[in-house]
Amino acid sequence: MMDEIASHIMDIVANSLTAGAHNISVLIEKDNEGPLFILDIKDDGVGMDSETAKKVQDPFFSTKTGRKVGLGIPLLKGTAETTGGTFSLTSEPGRGTRIRVAFNAGHPDLPPLGNLKDTILVLAVGNPEVNFLFTYKDSSREFVLDTAEVKELLGGVPINHPEVISFLSKYLDEHL
């Protein structure tokens, strides 16, 4: 499996979509003052109770119980910890879930960013009913894409209309 930040984002956001989220925010921040690379994903989906939130972080949970539990969360946690970074998952039933990861950007095992542009595009146009707030920050720029705002500007035109997709694609190429 290719380890890229963008595929982790895809995995974690897929969980938020499965959890029925209507609003999902994704923050990617390279802190140039310090050694940290932050990934912060927040949703307003069904959430988890504290016991579940703990269990889903454990890669050996599924083998112990025989229940099928996925690997998206343990993989991201493992990658963060391998770089000497941190992982935190907070969740509240009925309210939503937040996953915040700090990678140590100076570590040789920090995965490459991968194709962030296509990840954002696919999520935004593939889930027209969901509002995404994507933020990318580093020392040279801050990029924000708020799909609720885009949809508002579009009037009734769907965000997955072919012309909107190609506009968004160019917009991401130029600004991200």
Binding site for ligand ATP (CB under 6 A): 11, 15-16, 19, 43, 45-48, 56, 69-73, 97
Which residue number places its CB atom closest to ligand ATP?
Answer: 70
Whichever of 48 and 130 has its CB closer to ligand ATP, that residue is 48
Q: Shortest gap between Cβ of 76 and ligand ATP (angstroms)? A: 8
Q: Compare residues 16 and 104 and give the one whose CB is closer to Mg ion.
A: 16
**CA-CA-CA-CA dihedral for 108, 112, 6, 72, to nearest 10:** -30
Q: Report the nearest approach of ligand ATP to the CB of residue 132 (Å).
A: 14
In terms of Cα–Cα distance, which of 64, 66, 62, 65 is closest to 75? 62
Query: What's the full length of the chain, in residues?
Result: 176
Q: Which does 43 bind (CB under 5 to 8 A by kind): ligand ATP, Mg ion, none?
A: ligand ATP
Q: Give the distance between the most distant pair of CA atoms in the chain.
A: 51
Stretch (H or E) spanning 9: helix 5-18
Structure token digits, residue 52: 């579940």
- Residue 145: partners with Cβ closer than 8 Å, 6 or more residues away: 120, 124, 132, 133, 134, 171, 172
Which among ligand ATP, Mg ion, none contacts residue 13 (Cβ within 5 to 8 A by kind)?
A: none
- Per partner kind, with CB cut-offs from 5 to 8 A, the member of ligand ATP, Mg ion, none near residue 48 is ligand ATP
- The H or E element spanning position 131 is strand 131-137
Choose the contact partner of 7 out of ligand ATP, Mg ion, none; CB within 5 to 8 A by kind: none
CB of 84: closest distance to Mg ion in angstroms? 24
Subset of 57-76 contacting Mg ion (CB under 5 A): 70, 72
- Which residues form the interface with Mg ion (CB under 5 A)? 15, 70, 72
